[in-house]
A and B are shown apart, each in its own frame.
Chain A
Amino acid sequence: MKAVVFHGVGDIRLDDVPEPEIQEPTDAIVRLTSSAICGTDLHMVRGTLSGMKEGTILGHEGVGIVEEVGPQVRNLNPGDRVVVGSTVGCGYCSYCRAGYYAQCDNANPNGPQAGTAFFGGPEATGPLDGMQAEYARIPYASMTCVKLPENVTDEQAIMISDIFPTGYFGADIADVSDGNTVTVFGCGPVGQFAIVSAFMMGASRVFAVDNREDRLEMARAQGAEVVNFDEEDPVGAVQELTGGIGTDRVIEAVGVDAEAPGGERDEQEIGQVAPRRTRRKTACGNLAAPPRSRRCGRPKPCARPGP
């Protein structure tokens, strides 16, 4: 089958690879009808998210039809249309049962201390072959595949595989509640879903920060108050719009490849967190947030007035 395979930083290829097979009784094989490219995939290709094993199939977002189920998959039939969650959890360890599927004790082949198991990621996450392919093996399929109702299209469902839950998670761990003001840094897909999720959770105002006009327009269309950090200081702008107070909550939805106004990048800091990053011609900015932290709750220092 055809699959997008990681060969090295900056080197991904559409290769012919063997179709996956059931390995564990809890596996299913899904034939993908929709997949996606995520910003995180770009981090892997650029090298800012390091540790990728050569030969890993990329892609942690998928919608498809169940082709085959292992004997211990009791809630799915071949032919079912499902969305595949990006992170894998067993559903029975103490973490999964508390809702922390990203810290499952069993899903990561590297052991209970290894952290999140997800598709198409670095060796530390498995590695599990991903879903930018025709077929994928889904571990713990009873949990990882969720059946779709007829009136949710593939196009809608592919958002529910990763980016909508991730944006929602950002708003959730930020503890957004009725009346809160929220700042969302980064208006990519995850940021857009963080915005809509923050509003759903009762935010009265959401400020959206980015420097790309098309992304800001999309945020504005959702009702966010937009700030272009290439045109003004985002902290100052948010403070001014909130009577000098700043916002109750901040959600960081940018990731490792953050930029600062003016386009400078602190190469030394990047080097510390992402040693094998590719060289790029375009200049980028300083890290605007602690490296690798994807979501933050509660006000960050930059969002509040200070001495």
Chain B
Amino acid sequence: MTFPIGVLQQRNLTVKGGNCNHRRYIPKLIGLVASGALDPTEILTQEEPVTEVIEAYEVFDQRRPGWIKVELLP
């Protein structure tokens, strides 16, 4: 796969990537949720006890409707 460096040059683009620096944001996001400004739980769809976790993996892998994020309760 070739990186489109010519387009980057011609259009003065900036491309950035990487792994998240979690610790940089976690305290701020805790504060946002604690203040009531935002509730992230609307995104969770399915609760599973851990004995069914392998099945949860398989179903999540199929990207079935409604399976957006899976929380595990050990």
Contacts and interface: CB of A to CB of B under 8 A. Distances in A.
A-B pairs with lowest CB-CB distance, top 9: A298-B14, A85-B22, A293-B17, A159-B40, A169-B20, A102-B19, A297-B16, A301-B7, A35-B72
A156 B23 contact: no
Q: How many residues of B sit at the interface, in one of the four size bands?
A: 35 or more
B54 A13 contact: yes
B20 A160 contact: no
Given A132-B53, A189-B68, 20 more contacts: A2-B74, A4-B53, A14-B51, A36-B70, A46-B61, A86-B20, A101-B23, A133-B74, A134-B74, A156-B33, A159-B43, A164-B25, A169-B21, A169-B25, A189-B69, A192-B68, A196-B38, A213-B65, A295-B17, A298-B15
A168 interface: yes
Best-buried of B27, B42, B44, B53 by chain A (most CB within 10 Å): B53
A22 interface: no
Contacts of B73: 33-35
A269 interface: yes
Given A37-B53, A269-B1, A116 B19 contact: yes
B40 A12 contact: no
Nearest to B32: A200
B69 A36 contact: yes
A304 B71 CA distance: 37
Best-buried of A144, A165, A273 by chain B (most CB within 10 Å): A165
Interface of A: 2, 4, 12-14, 32-37, 41-42, 45-46, 59, 83, 85-87, 89, 91, 96, 99-103, 115-116, 118, 132-134, 143-144, 146, 148-149, 151-153, 155-166, 168-169, 172-174, 188-189, 192-193, 196, 200, 212-215, 218, 221, 269, 272-273, 287, 290-291, 293-301, 304, 306
Contacts of B17: 173, 290, 293-296
B40 A160 contact: yes
B65 A212 contact: yes
A291 B33 CA distance: 33
A2 B23 CA distance: 28
Contacts of A143: 23
Interface in B1-23: 1, 3-4, 7-8, 11, 13-23
A156 B41 contact: yes
Contacts of A295: 16-18
A291 B1 CA distance: 9
B22 A87 contact: yes
Contact of A149 (B30, B42, B63): B30
B44 to A, nearest CB: 6
A161 B27 CA distance: 11
B11 A304 contact: yes
A45 B22 contact: no
Best-buried of B20, B24, B40, B68 by chain A (most CB within 10 Å): B20
Contacts of B74: 2, 32-35, 133-134
